[in-house]
Chains A and B, each alone.
Chain A
Amino acid sequence: MVGDGERRISRGGFSGGIRNLAYDPAARGIALQILLVLAIAAIGLEIVSNAVSNLARQGITSGFGFLNHTSGFDISQKLIAYANTSTYARAFWVGLLNTLLVAALGIMLSTVIGFAVGIARLSSNWLIARLAGLYVEVLRNIPPLLMLFAFYFAVLKALPAPRESIVLPLSSYLNVRGLTVPKPMLEAGAGYVGIAFVLALVLAAIIAGWARRLQLATGKTFPTLWTGMALIVFLPAIAFFAAGQPVQFDTPQLGRFNVMGGLTLLPELVALTLGLSLYTAAFIAEIVRSGIVGVPKGQKEASAALGLNERQTMRLVVIPQAMRIIIPPLTNQYLNLTKNSSLAVAIGYPDLVSVFAGTVLNQTNQAIEVIVIVMAVYLFISVVTSLLMNWFNARMALVER
């Protein structure tokens, strides 16, 4: 269409060219789109300038200067160094990392549970299939906020007060304030352990590739999984001892109110991760089941005819094809889980919404700026998750031969 239009323009003279442009659908389309973009930009500009002048008229400060001011408040869980003398911008990063942490943990856990339950629902064992069905029906019909409350207060009720802590091996303590374990503090030489770990990963990948080529060429199989795991465990262990055990531990001590020192896993994080994972897993289970059921029966029969056993049929024939059906709706569930993590504020977990759209918003009173930042961050996380899953989907797509 475009090519056709260009040819017509080039044939006409200068004055005829303008007239042709007006009648040319391609050129007209482009012109209309430019107009539309300009109109949207004008509306956007009008909104921003209105907001700025209205805020000024109401005597409300605007702008992003507040990000460099001292925050003055404390946060219970921080993955990066933060104190009440840090800036609001730093508090933002602390909150964001806490959100990403719970999202990543939740995605991993819900995927594992979801796949297990989804496959269990198709089990030939009557009891397992019914139990999995019950799990799905119950959990996906409870609002996630209620689940969070239930888990949180169940966790709190079940655990003892700090002074009656359950003492675990390796001077760890479990109580209502969380699980406190010795905190490893790296010393010089710890880098070698990391290098050994990366090296082991690379070696495992090379062996996996070699084993695959071997199998394609000769049909022989090689225990890739066991070799890889052995490499990943032993290589860093050897490096650790060779470097003279370069790790010191900050062991927790029982103080007057709390267990002091060490590394604490907060009950809020546990409740939030469990609640979100179990809730989302119910949906993932249904997606997995539909994916597996969606693979034509003939595929199974064909692989049985080729002499593959039931496990091999599942792993090599059914699941790879089911993944094509599973991945797009799975992406949705991952996004839902990430967004649902903003329920954290209800149970005292310091996520982005709690820290930034909560405490920071309240202290600075700059609602528009704070909410715009938070919305942009969630949009960014969602888009990145989608892109990753689209890439994964493209890789898993059926290659027509």
Chain B
Amino acid sequence: MTSVLRIGSGLAMALVAMLPATGADAQGTLQKVKDRGQLACGVNTGIAGFSAPDDKGNWAGIDVDLCRAIAAAIFNDSSKVKFVPLTAKERFTALQSGEIDVLSRNTTWTMSRDTSAGMNFAGINYFDGQGFMVNTALNVKSAKELSGASICVQTGTTTELNVADYFRQTGMTYKPVVFEKLPETIAAYNAGRCDVFTSDASQLYATRLTLGNPADHIVLPEIISKEPLGPAVRQGDAQWGNIVRWTYFALVNAEELGVTSQNLDQMLESNNPEIRRLLGKEGEFGVGIGLGNDWAYQAIKAVGNYGESFDRNLGEGSRLKISRGQNALWRDGGLQYAPPIR
């Protein structure tokens, strides 16, 4: 059954590509979303802090927040989102075939994905890097000691390639065990099939909390790759790409300007021209990307600024307690930087 679905997703893509070109693309993604009355947003099937359904079936996470912010910017209503949970392998096909409008699923921005795969990345909402998690019983302190280890990996990610590169560079050997889905990968690691579970560091911290006794597992200090995670859209619709990119920039700019979901309405009266432009009191910036002038106001009202979203999902306000690190604002020594609205 799984294999049927798996081949099915590839087939769906093939079939879509085989249909004659229609006016659908010429119409533009924004118009399609408006006609549908809903944004179709591809998210992770379940990774705490990024996108995971809670026990009531409500989605939460930093990637989910971005979808809600985009929906709020378009419809003034952050609930008009259909979340489409996707495995690592299904995600690009879902975007390319038009099943989803935006892929907001902790996806690494790489050159081949940004060019030959027919996608464009709209920004980096989380700077990540790949790491290793091991059981403390193995008494391993560094990734340099891992020669000969068995490593559990989830397929359909950049992870497989990074591990191979790292071990090739350092002249060490390893034995890969590759699974399609995260739960089986973790179950196999937990059963001792592998010594190491490797993934993006944020995912390792999230996974660690789900294991029987988190204190039995440590994340090794080495980060072996750059994993800039961000939302992606289909190539060939610049307006739609702008909407996704500038919604994300608006959230970052809001944090920089001190605009939060709490003080939003007082900020409408602010004299600061940057804040006035962000919230649509001056200029026609929202209209310029095909939305209402209060697009950023609506987005911030729905999910808060970037910092609020981070704290709620990944930072101190969450179980993960991940420090801002590289994801702090540029003026605080991090990498989050948004071009100005003017």
Contact = CB atoms under 8 A, between A and B. Distances in A.
Contact of B148 (A157, A258, A370): A258
Given A54-B19, A75-B176, A177-B150, A59 B1 contact: no
A257 B20 CA distance: 55
A58 B138 contact: no
B235 A58 contact: yes
A73 interface: yes
Contact of A73 (B1, B161, B175): B161
Interface string B1-35: 11100110011011011111100010000000000
A365 B235 CA distance: 14
A257 B145 CA distance: 10
Nearest to A375: B7
B164 A73 contact: yes
A58 B236 contact: yes
A101 interface: no
Contacts of A37: none
Given A343-B2, A343-B3, A361 B178 contact: no
B2 A258 contact: no
Interface string B263-277: 000000000000000
Contact of B155 (A51, A60, A362): A362
B45 interface: no
Q: Specify which of A50, A342, A363 lies most central, judged by the most chain B CB atoms within 10 Å of its CB.
A: A363
A309 B70 CA distance: 81
Contacts of B10: 357, 361, 367-368, 370-371
A128 to B, nearest CB: 34
A156 interface: yes
Interface size class of A (residues with CB under 8 A): 35 or more
A176 B19 contact: no
Contacts of B191: 153, 156-157, 176
B13 A346 contact: no
Interface size class of B (residues with CB under 8 A): 35 or more
A143 B1 contact: yes
B88 interface: yes
Contacts of A260: 148
Contacts of B176: 73-76
B218 interface: no
A372 B115 contact: no
Interface string B195-236: 100000000000000000000000000000000000000111
Contacts of A161: 192
Contacts of B146: 257
Interface of B: 1-3, 6-7, 10-11, 13-14, 16-21, 25, 88-89, 92-93, 96, 112-113, 115-118, 138, 145-150, 152, 155-157, 160-161, 163-165, 168, 174-181, 184-185, 187-188, 191-193, 195, 234-236
Given A143-B1, A362-B92, 5 more contacts: A48-B18, A54-B19, A58-B235, A258-B175, A367-B13
Interface of A: 46-48, 50-51, 53-55, 57-61, 72-76, 84-85, 143, 145, 149, 153, 156-157, 161, 176-177, 255-258, 260, 267-268, 339-340, 342-343, 345-348, 350, 353-354, 357-359, 361-365, 367-368, 370-372, 374-375
